[in-house]
Amino acid sequence: MQVLLEAARAAFENAHAPYSRFRVGAALRSGSGRIFAGANVENASYPEGNCAEASAIAALVAAGEREITEALVMAEGAALCTPCGGCRQRLAEFAGPGLPVHLCDPQGLRRTVTLGELLPLSFSLDGAANPSGGKARSALAVIRGRAPDFTPRVGLILGSGLGGIADAIEDATVLDYADLPGFPRPGVEGHAGRLVLGRLGDAGVACLQGRVHLYEGVPARAVNALPRTLKALGCEILILTNAAGSLRPEIEPGAIALIEDHINLLGQNPLVGANDAATGPRFPDMSEVYDGELRERARRVAKRLGVPLRAGVYLATLGPCFETPAEIRAFRALGADLVGMSTVPEAISARHAGLKVLGLSIVTNLAAGLAPHPLSHEETLTQAAGAAATLERLLRGLLEDLAHDDANAT
Ligand code: HPA
């Protein structure tokens, strides 16, 4: 920030504004970390002058750079000087809506806003218009700003009551979903809403601690930001974890189960709406959502560690109510072994984006009608916390196994 301030101050001092006497300096940080500054340049046909931001952008482009990760604008006066409409759009050519824009005067910082907050809604890079989204790209810019050289191979989404696994991540860089454009914020207890980048079991992971559920009222497409950002970060594999009810007494509460396939009874799909062909095909194949090789690997690692691993088909319901006993009987007739309110949207989105998926459930209860007592979210959280240490051991083992492959390949 200091280096941006100094570059903008020098440009501000040199601004050519003899007609308006309103000098402006701007400084930009490029994707590779270089700083480019610009000043406003007026001429006698005063409205035809060059804005400071436009000058800085021109310098950045002339140097061969095509990404802006941070911007600073400096001017004097009581009112904050924000980039004009034209410059907002110019900035949006090279940055997403999460771009931090520092509004300063020569004394220092007055306020930081994001480009998205400055852009009129109809001009924003919201993923609704481009579902791949502008959002994945701009969340990526924020992440890259914090961890420029971190390229994890594995993404991990932690389900209800399993967020504590993120505490085991070493050399962690933590980002709040609130700072990641397009990341829907979970509103349910047991879901923190943080991205934790670091090392687990000797492998680089991008761990999403908490997820939104469709029963919170978010549209299914909101989920796309998570897998797509992981993919853009460089992940090849997405491990999805959740808490689930069991439809089979032999898949007992406290057990860990491998998801072999799913049944989507959410009545929604994250890929509904315009398709971005650059992300994936309009009609993606779903004949092997949960990667066979990864499932085999998980079985092998679990056996080596002595972790009993059950397996079954996961059926997703919208929730938020737990199911009725009649629904559970119906789901069993459909071929389901596990039931829950998550995972399927992320799995669909991840497959669409070309990620390999592995799904692991912690069985927190026998499903409605099979359990001798009513179901509750408290039971889900307590049971999930009880089995979290075992799941963490399995995840570490898996990541070590994957890292071992990488080491052999190099
Ligand atoms: N039903 C739906 N979701 C769940 C359950 C259940 O029994 N247990 C944990 N999540």
pLDDT digits (tens, 9 = 90+) for 199-209: 987 789 999 98
Q: For residue 264, how far is its CA from the centre of ligand 1 (angstroms)?
A: 15
Is any atom of ligand 1 closer than 6 Å to the C-beta of 343?
no
pLDDT of residue 410: 55
pLDDT of residue 128: 34
pLDDT of residue 341: 96
**Structural contact between residues 388 and 241, judged by C-beta atoms closer than 8 angstroms:** no
Residue 400 is encoded by which pair of tokens? 């070590």
pLDDT of residue 249: 94
pLDDT surpassing 80 at residue 97 = no
Domain boundaries, the chain: 2-118, 148-409
The residues annotated with a catalytic role in the active site are 160, 191, 213, 215-216, 243, 341-342, 365, 377
**Structural contact between residues 343 and 359, judged by C-beta atoms closer than 8 angstroms:** yes
Q: What is the mean pLDDT of residues 339-350?
A: 97
Tell how strand 237-246 and strand 356-366 pair up. parallel
Q: What is the mean pLDDT of residues 59-64?
A: 96
pLDDT surpassing 90 at residue 23 = yes
Q: What is the mean pLDDT of residues 52-61?
A: 97
Is any atom of ligand 1 closer than 6 Å to the C-beta of 315?
no
Q: For residue 322, how far is its CA from the centre of ligand 1 (angstroms)?
A: 6
125 — pLDDT class (breaks 50, 70, 90) = very low
| Least confidently predicted of 64-68, 158-162, 398-402 | 158-162
Q: For atom 7 of ligand 1, which residue has the closest CA?
A: 245
**Nearest ligand 1 atom, CA 366:** 7
Is any atom of ligand 1 closer than 6 Å to the C-beta of 69?
no
213: nearest Cα among 238, 242, 178: 242
> Residue 245 corresponds to which amino acid?
G
120 — pLDDT class (breaks 50, 70, 90) = low
Which among 240, 318, 365 is the best mutation to test ligand 1's pocket, defined by most ligand atoms within 8 Å of the CB? 365
Q: How far is CA 183 from CA 276, 383, 385, in A?
A: 18, 28, 25
Q: What is the mean pLDDT of residues 115-144?
A: 58
**Nearest ligand 1 atom, CA 367:** 7
Fold of 148-409: Rossmann fold (3.40.50)
d(CA 346, CA 259): 14
Rounded to the nearest integer, the mean pLDDT of the chain is 89
Say which residues have a Cβ less than 8 Å from residue 271's Cβ, sequence separation at least 6: 221, 224, 284, 348, 349, 352
CATH number of 2-118: 3.40.140.10
Q: For residue 142, how far is its CA from the centre of ligand 1 (angstroms)?
A: 34
Q: For residue 358, how far is its CA from the centre of ligand 1 (angstroms)?
A: 19
Q: For atom 2 of ligand 1, which residue has the closest CA?
A: 340
Is any atom of ligand 1 closer than 6 Å to the C-beta of 162?
no
pLDDT surpassing 90 at residue 214 = yes
pLDDT of residue 119: 64
pLDDT digits (tens, 9 = 90+) for 172-200: 999 998 888 888 887 766 557 899 999 98
pLDDT surpassing 80 at residue 48 = no
Query: Could you tell me where the beta strands, DSSP code E, fall in 49-169?
Result: 68-75, 100-105, 108-114, 154-158
